[in-house]
Amino acid sequence: MVYVDILRELLSSPDADAFDLLAHVAFGAEIHSCDERAAALFNLHREFLDHFDEDARNVLLTLVEKYRYGGVQEVTNPRIFSLAPFNSDVRHVAKRFGGIPALRTAIDGLVRRLYLVEAA
């Protein structure tokens, strides 16, 4: 078992993404914060977000903010939609994307783009 919070403390990287911490320990990769990865997403993959209508894009932008403060597990856990600012059922949120499969595809695309490139 890996305790990511202990790694953050040992590596003096309190805002580091869990993936980056593990990649650093295993492969010597550079450590990036969630905020750096989110900034890279906005700078390099803006067209992905612009592909969605305003309601769906707002969901994705909110998920990016949740990622910035809680990591990828905040984005990939469907229970996130029961919390503020959604305060809803995942099925209700999924309607903005055309259904649950489309929401899942959008979230997968978001996560993939967060890790696709080195953070700026």
**C-beta separation of 20 from 40 below 8 A:** no
Classify residue 3 as left (phi > 0), alpha (psi -120 to 50) or beta: beta
- On whether both 56 and 26 belong to a single domain, the answer is no
- On whether both 78 and 45 belong to a single domain, the answer is yes
Q: What is the pLDDT of residue 66?
A: 95
- Cα dist from 14 to 7, 17, 35, 41, 92, whole Å: 9, 9, 12, 21, 34
Number of folded domains in the chain?
A: 2
- On whether both 27 and 5 belong to a single domain, the answer is yes
Among 61, 66, 69, CA closest to 79: 66
- On whether both 27 and 86 belong to a single domain, the answer is no
- On whether both 45 and 66 belong to a single domain, the answer is yes
Q: What is the pLDDT of residue 58?
A: 97
pTM of the entire predicted model: 0.89
Q: What is the pLDDT of residue 2?
A: 81
C-beta atoms surrounding 80 within 10 Å: 18
Determine the structural domain holding residue 95 and report its residue range. 34-116
Profile the chain (120 residues) by mean pLDDT over runs of 10 residues.
89 91 93 93 94 97 94 91 92 96 97 77
- On whether both 26 and 41 belong to a single domain, the answer is no
Q: What is the pLDDT of residue 47?
A: 95
- On whether both 67 and 89 belong to a single domain, the answer is yes
Q: What is the pLDDT of residue 116?
A: 84
**C-beta separation of 49 from 57 below 8 A:** yes
